[in-house]
Amino acid sequence: MAFPSSLRRHPYVSGLIALLMVVIGGGMVALSGHWRSTAGPQRALPASPRVSVVAASARTRDVGVYLYGLGTVTPLNTVTVRTRVDGQLLGVHFQEGQIVRSGDLLAEIDPRPFEAQLTQFEGQLERDQALLDNARVDLKRFQVLVKTDAVPRQQLDTQDSLVHQLEGTVKNDQGQIDATKVNLVYCHITSPIAGRVGLRLVDPGNIVHAADTGGLIIITQLQPITVIFTIPEDSIPTVLERLRQGVRLPVEAYDREQRRKLAEGALLTIDNEVDPTTGTVRLKAQFPNTDNRLFPSQFINARLLIETRRGATVVPTAAIQSSPRGSFVYVVRNDRTVGIRQVTVGVTDRDDVSIERGLAVGEQVVVEGAERLRDGVAIALRNGP
């Protein structure tokens, strides 16, 4: 700040200027100290928080090698029960949805027309049998008389022919009797197989015919039951080799969402051709189905066990991460940081996946919270859900 020379020579003015300079200098020093005190905490960076994760240890267990396929429950036997005789349906002896055994009575047809027919045929048989007996007696007489030339030879031959005709008539009568007895048996309709009865197709009181196409009821065998499922054609040699060795190949049936196991069975056979449109082949497995959890035409997911690898190193499938370089896991270090470890993944079994190379039993890997990690990040372990 510049002042005129005349003012600077005045003693009061000189003192005032000096005092003013001291006040301004002190204020600037105080203000700069305040700036340093307020700006200092803003420049200090807070410590990075640890990432909360869930970890699991690699362990050993037997791992199954499976083939998966979509399948449909198919009964071993499905029978549409029809009447084999014409007549009025007198009554039914089953409840819809009932489990029946082979030979159980299901329905009855009015037997009275066949009973009357049987009486008629039995009467014809008795009459024709009497005619046959008389013709045989006459034949014996003619055989004696022809030796003395009492009757001509032609009459003997005629009588012999009559006997044969009557024998044929008697056989025909007996056949009609047997057929009528069979029809009487058919009036009592029984179950040809053991299984579950479907909905009733005909009500009592209706006239039914052997030519009817609809039938009375449908019975489906439930125990045992089969599942037909498909696998890729590339897996055919493996399955055929195991079948040739006589190995029992277990098959498990799961629901549509593959969460609930419905039944356990075994492979029966493999089809004789590949479907060219899908590149798959059909397999048939049989299940005891003692609890009736498999239902005809039900959609299922089949899992065929090919082999079991003993003592494999496994981790939860959630631990496996992917990158352009391949599969890797986040391994928990002793200092509570994580490191990236490249691994070779084997087969998947339920919620576990086997590790062929890159991980030792007992090492911990991150199974939850990996999306916030990178190599060297500090972590805080917490219990899983």
pLDDT tens, position by position, 58-94: 999 999 899 999 999 999 999 999 999 999 999 999 9
* pLDDT at residue 42 in the model: 46
Strand, coil or helix: 317: helix
Half-sphere exposure of 92 (CA within 13 A, CB side): 19
* pLDDT at residue 350 in the model: 78
Integer-rounded Cα Rg, in Å, for the chain is 49
What is the per-residue burial (b if ≥16 Cβ within 10 Å, else e) of 93-117?
ebeeeeebeeeeebbbbebebbeeb
CA 281 to CA 258: how far, in whole Å?
21
Query: What are the structure tokens assigned to 17, written together?
Result: 């200027």
* pLDDT at residue 29 in the model: 45
Over residues 7-30, the mean pLDDT reads: 53
Strands 280-287 vs 299-316: parallel, antiparallel or unpaired: unpaired
Q: How far apart are the first and last CA of the chain?
A: 74
Which residue type sits at 5?
S
* pLDDT at residue 117 in the model: 96
CA 257 to CA 142: how far, in whole Å?
90
Which residue, 261, 131, 121, is CA-closest to 183?
121
* pLDDT at residue 35 in the model: 38
* pLDDT at residue 329 in the model: 95
- pLDDT confidence tier of residue 177, bands split at 50, 70 and 90: very high
Mean pLDDT of the chain: 88
The CA-based diameter of the chain, rounded to the nearest angstrom, is: 201
Site of tokens 């959609």: 299
Residues pairing with 267 in the sheet? 285
pLDDT in tens, 300-326: 999 999 998 899 999 999 999 999 989
pLDDT in tens, 90-118: 999 999 999 999 999 999 999 999 999 99
* pLDDT at residue 23 in the model: 52
Strand, coil or helix: 306: strand
* pLDDT at residue 349 in the model: 82
* pLDDT at residue 46 in the model: 52
Which residue, 206, 132, 128, is CA-closest to 162?
132
- pLDDT confidence tier of residue 16, bands split at 50, 70 and 90: low
Which residue, 334, 345, 332, is CA-closest to 53?
332
Query: What are the structure tokens assigned to 255, written together?
Result: 């629901």
Low-confidence winner among 9-18, 187-196, 276-285 (lowest mean pLDDT)? 9-18
Q: Is the pLDDT assigned to residue 352 strictly greater than 50?
A: yes
Residues pairing with 314 in the sheet? 59, 354
* pLDDT at residue 50 in the model: 87
Over residues 21-31, the mean pLDDT reads: 53
Residue 299: count of CB within 10 angstroms of its CB: 10
Strand, coil or helix: 179: helix
Residues pairing with 322 in the sheet? 327
CA 365 to CA 363: how far, in whole Å?
7
Which residue, 163, 288, 164, is CA-closest to 223?
288
Displacement of CA 286 from its chain's centroid (Å):
11
What whole-number percentage of the chain has pLDDT above 90?
74
Over residues 289-306, the mean pLDDT reads: 94
Q: Is the pLDDT assigned to residue 192 strictly greater than 80?
A: yes
Q: Is the pLDDT assigned to residue 119 strictly greater than 80?
A: yes
Report DSSP state, residue 222: -
Specify whether the CB–CB gap between 197 and 217 falls below 8 A.
Answer: yes
- ∠ CA 17-18-21, nearest 5°, is 85
* pLDDT at residue 249 in the model: 95
- pLDDT confidence tier of residue 150, bands split at 50, 70 and 90: confident
Q: Is the pLDDT assigned to residue 41 strictly greater than 90?
A: no
Q: Is the pLDDT assigned to residue 45 strictly greater than 60?
A: no
